[in-house]
Structures are given as C-alpha cells and as structure tokens.
Chains A and B, each alone.
Chain A
Amino acid sequence: MFLNRRKLLASTAAGAVAGAAGPFVIRDLHAQDVVKVAGIHDTSGGLDIYGKQMVATMDLAVNEINAAGGVLGRKIQLINYDPQSNIQFYTQYATEAATKEKVAVVHGGITSASREAIRPLLKRFNTLYFYNTLYEGGVCDRNIFCTGSTPAQTVEKLVPYVQKKWGKKIYTIAADYNYGHITAKWVKKYAQDNGGEVVQTDFFPLDVTDFGPTIKKIQAAKPDLVMSALVGAAHISFYRQWAAAGMNKQIPLASTTFGNEVVITSPEEHNGFVVAFGYLEGIDTPANKKFVEIVHGKYGIPHMTELATMTYHGVHLWADAVKKANSLDRMKVIEALEGGAAYDGPAGKTTIDPKTHHTVLDVYIGEAKDKKFVVVEKFLQQTPADTAAVCDLKKNPNENKQYVIDVKT
C-alpha cells in the first residue's frame, strides 16, 4: 500500500478523532435501537403528588406506544429524572438529557419557574420540549408545546357557570405569585363581562396557614361566592378552617386550583366545591374509564389530575407526530405537530394550535363529591385565547419569551 505524506496525515487524524470519540460512537450505535425520551418530574419534595402521577401516565403512554410497535420501527426508552422539587436539578437534568442522552423530546416541568429554567436551555440544545401542566399562559416559543389548559380556557367557563348558579358578587382569594395574580385578573374580567363584580381580592404567600381573619373578612363582605386560586400544601388549611367555621354551608366556593386537594380533605369539607379543568377523573367515556382503571390499579395513583392526563396526551401527540413526519428531526416533528396534530384520549380531543403551540381542548366543570369530581358540564374544543392574543408563531417563528398577558378589566 502506497502512502504519501498527505494521505498519512489525513488517515492518522481521522484515526485520532475516531479514537477520541470512541465511546460515543459505540453509544450511538447502541442508541440506534431505541428512541430516548426524557421525563423530568418531581417525584420527591413538595410537588411529588403531581410528579408521581405524571411519571405514571408517561410510563403508561410509552408502554402503549411500544406495545404497538414503537415509533419508526424502534422502541421508545423512557429516562425519568427526579429534580426533587428543586429548580437547580431541573437545569442539570435537562442539560444531561439534551447533551449526554441526546433525547428526542423532553416532557416535564411542573411549576412555571421550573419550565422557565429549562425552556431556554432546551431551545439552545435544539431539543423539543413538552410542558403538560396547566399554567397562567403566555409562553411563546416554537420549541415548546404547552398541552395544559390556561386561564382563558377554564376561568372563562367557570365564572359564568358559578355566577349563574350562585350570584354575581365574587370574593377572590389567590396565591401570591404570578399564577395567582394573573388568574385573579381573569376572574375579575369574566365576572365583569357577565355583569357581576369581584368585591375583593386577597393574595396569600405560599406558606400562610392561618386564614382566620380572612374568613371573617369574607363574611363581612357578604359575597355570593368565593373563588379560590390557592396553591400548595399550606393553603389547604384554608378549606379546613372554612369548614370548621361552618362557612362551607353558608357561602359556596369555586376554584381554579382545587384538584388533588380532594383526596386530602374530607367530604364534609369539600362537597359542593365547583372547579374547571381540562380533565376530571369523573369523565364518563370508555377511554377515560379504562385509563383511570389502569392508573389506579397498576400504578396505585389514588386520584388523577389534568397534569397527569395531559402528560399522557402529550406523549401520544409527540409519538403521532414522529410517525407522521417519519423522522425524529426536530423541525420535521414540529411541523408535523403544527399541521393540525390531534389526540383523542381520556381528556377528550386535544388539538395543537399552530399559532401558539398551546392546545385546543375540552373543558370540564366538576363538582366535588365524596373525594371525587362529578362532571356537571363540558365545553368542547376551547381555544387558548389568552396566549393567542399575544403570540403568533406563524408570523413570528423566532419568538422566545413568556408574555405577561395584560388582562383589561
């Protein structure tokens, strides 16, 4: 074999590169067999009641897709990360998922803070991101798909429903951070649009446990109903103290956040509360009954929320889009999702809105009864009007921010 200097240099350089990249080459060969998908959900720490069920439904969705042959002829391998309700771990695990594991898609994030920690990072690493939690709306970024409901979808239906049922005067109590503030503004807007009023709005930091004075203030204001956007473990004491004062028999209560609390509080405390979500366990369809049965039985989750069900929808939406695009290429999958991707599942039909990357979904109004929610009314195919008011990714595909939606009241 004849070697001149140029060939020798070229071949040794290539050899050196191959040598240095050795372990990665081998891993990539192995990775050909599976499609890696990451889930980042808090299964320990304060958010674990949500994280655990989201991991369960994600696992269920992946198993179903694999049982049906996977995507592109390959099985999906689910990699679960537990950020322990700590934002710092979110960025660490998102980086690991995007760079070391080179996953095709990341599903995850529960709080808005965790989403905003990893959203820019995943965009930078060109890794597709699904955020499946209901939140305050306004995220505008072509790399993310937000499958959960936003206030315009749920509050718009909830407020007129309860005003018709109970009366026009609303007293709002909400958690003191952006979700609570934005939701309170939507409540006020829809109350006024429907000829009612919000007599007062009180905000509570997330660690407040003593609601005694507030309960007396509510009585002094004599509203027709109380609207709660309280969040988290400490705020559950409001519902206990509300019932202990006998107020649950006096003034009815509606909530945009009372979900898993139905498991923790007692029927005497929560019976009659009215809520609106993109999913309720009591949805009376065969698809949902089967879904609930599996999640209760196989995964031991006592009560399902919108977060977990939308995670399930999100994984299926992604897998369908990959099949449609016939590729794992990020842009091709995004375009497939933007082309009217829809999934019909336990929560009804969820369609991706191409302009906002949020979803058009069914909204359910439910009434708490003996540790469950009974669906009392449903509104099909509600559009994410709040985000749509500020975000148009068709027109501005390079946008990358979360708008704070200005609610005019």
Chain B
Amino acid sequence: MDYAIILLLQIGSAIASLVLLSIGLAVIFGMMRVINLAHGEFLMLGGYAAITAYNKGVNLWIAMLVVAPLTVGLFGALVERLVIRHLYGRLIDTMLATWGLSLAMIGFVTVVFGNTVSGISAPLGSLSIGGYRTGRYEIFLIGVAALLLVAGWLVLRYTRLGLIARGTMQNSAMAAALGTNPSAVYAVTFAVGAALTGLAGGLLAPLSGVVPTIGAAYIAKAFITVISGGAAILSGTAIASALLGAINTITTFAFTSVLGEVALLVAAVVLLRLLPQGITGRFFRRAL
C-alpha cells in the first residue's frame, strides 16, 4: 500500500517536473510559434538567479518564486525587443538566433560563475509514508505545477488579457484592426513565457543544482513534451506531461532509469507518428 502511494507520488513528481520544464516553452512556442532553442539556458539562468540571490542572503522562497522569474522575465523581454521581434514568422532564423543566444548565455555564465556546480539544499525536509521516505519539496513541486496550469487556464479563459493574447496569436492583423497593439502583446507573451521558465529553473535548482551547461539536459524533454502536446498549450502540455512522465517513471521502477528515458523517447516517437499534430491536434481540439 505504502509502495503504491510512493509510486503514485513519484509519477506525480515526474509529471510536475515535465510541466515545469515545458510550460514556458509551451507559451513561447505554442502561442508565438517561436522555436526558442535557448529555453534550456533560460532555465539555467533562473537557477543561477535563485541561487545567487539566496547566497546573497535573500529568503529562499523569495529567491525561487520571485527573483528567478523576474530576472528571466526581464531578460526575456530584453531578448524579445532586441532579437526576436525582428524575426517573427522566420522559423529558421529564430532557431539560429536563439541557438546563438544559448551559446552566448552559456559562455557568459561560465565567465561569471565558473564552470562548476552550484546548488542549494532543498527546503521543507522529508516525510515518511509507511516504510518509505520522500522529500516534502517534491510534493510542493507537484502543487506548484498544478497551480500554474490552473492559473494559466484561468487567465487565458476568463481575463481580458488572455482574450487579447489568444486573439493576437490567432490573427494578429484582425486583432490590430480591433485596436490592440500586436507588438506589445508579443513582447508581454514572450516575457511571461520567459518568466515561467525562470520560475521553473529556480524551483528545480535545489533538486538538480546548476552548471552553465545544464540546459542541455532539459531542452530535449521540454521540446518533446510541448510538441507531443500539440496546439492547445495548457491542456496539451498537461496531457503530454502526464503520459510521458507516467511512462518514464513506471519503466524506471520496473527496469532501469536508462530504459525509462528510452521508453519516454519511444513513446514520443510513436505518439507523433500516430498524431503528427500532437495529442490536442486530434483530441480536445477546442481546449486551451
């Protein structure tokens, strides 16, 4: 019984980590069709922002939940104004530009912090369930991921801001004709995506630590999740995370963590062969 609970918690935690890794990318890629190859480095920057703030004496929760998203959000806004906005609609060019950006970020962070691992201990301590122990922080992350999804849905579905964003993404010319400023909407959306990524980077830092090159470990999973999810950014990401996270965890428990990763990739390949437009390209098409 306790083993079943621990297994479920672990699946939940794998799903949460996929949601966190990919939600910012889902906003930037899903809404704006910008392939941000620097996504992994945005996560890395969030991690460094949180750790640096914490080491400077800022409260850990503020460092992770406020400093990290603010820093990366502002950085994202800057990048959007300087680079991305010149490249809307030019998919290959944005890929090149963001890839270059990722290399520059790795180089810059290496120069500033050195190519060594930094980290902080995870807060909240541990919890025993029957004969097992798990970190409370992992459960906290499940809560944060769920909260982010719900909040995102509420904003997009019920607020004027969400409506304008959705409208601009669907048809920017029409949205402009109705009196919105697409350029500003794009900038805000990109910054929000970057801020979500920074938040995820800050939240994951206590578990995995950060090195300048840690983005590489994250980016593949983020893209696989978002692309498997399909057009509906929130429900797509949620469903794809749930599916891939569950497959990964169950295979890891049954066999090894290498096979767990293999199973995740195989599942994504099969999924995209059957549903080239992603899960929400076929199902839940009217979802957000």
Contacts and interface: CB of A to CB of B under 8 A. Distances in A.
Interface of A: 44-46, 48-49, 176, 202-205, 207-217, 219-220, 233-234, 236-237, 240-241, 243-247, 250, 264-266, 268-269
A233 B134 CA distance: 23
B216 interface: yes
Interface in B113-153: 114-119, 121-122, 125-128, 131-135, 137-138
A123 B214 CA distance: 37
Contact of B217 (A204, A209, A247, A264): A209
Contacts of B211: 46, 233-234
A212 B10 contact: yes
A241 B122 contact: yes
Given A176-B258, A212-B138, A247-B133, A217 B253 contact: yes
Which of A45, A202, A209 has the most B CB atoms < 10 Å from its CB? A209
B257 interface: yes
B32 interface: no
A46 B212 CA distance: 10
B249 A236 contact: no
Interface residues of B, number: 43
B121 A244 contact: yes
A174 B84 CA distance: 42
Given A220-B3, A245-B133, A246-B135, A240 B258 contact: no
Contacts of B116: 48-49, 233, 264
17 contacts: A45-B115, A205-B258, A209-B207, A210-B14, A210-B17, A211-B257, A212-B14, A213-B10, A216-B6, A216-B253, A219-B132, A234-B211, A236-B209, A237-B209, A246-B135, A264-B209, A269-B121
Nearest to A42: B115
Interface in B244-288: 249, 252-253, 256-258, 260-261
B245 to A, nearest CB: 11
Interface of B: 3, 6-7, 10, 13-14, 17, 114-119, 121-122, 125-128, 131-135, 137-138, 206-209, 211, 213-214, 216-217, 249, 252-253, 256-258, 260-261
A220 B257 CA distance: 15
B13 A212 contact: yes
Given A210-B207, A212-B138, A214-B257, 16 more contacts: A176-B258, A205-B258, A205-B261, A213-B257, A214-B252, A216-B10, A216-B132, A217-B253, A219-B131, A234-B208, A236-B119, A236-B209, A241-B122, A244-B121, A250-B133, A268-B121
Contacts of B126: 244-247
Nearest to A202: B256
Contact of A216 (B17, B134, B208): B134
B122 A244 contact: yes
B121 to A, nearest CB: 5
A236 B217 CA distance: 14
Nearest to A260: B116
A268 B6 CA distance: 24
Given A48-B116, A216-B7, A268-B121, A208 B257 contact: yes
Given A240-B121, A244-B126, A246-B135, A46 B213 contact: yes
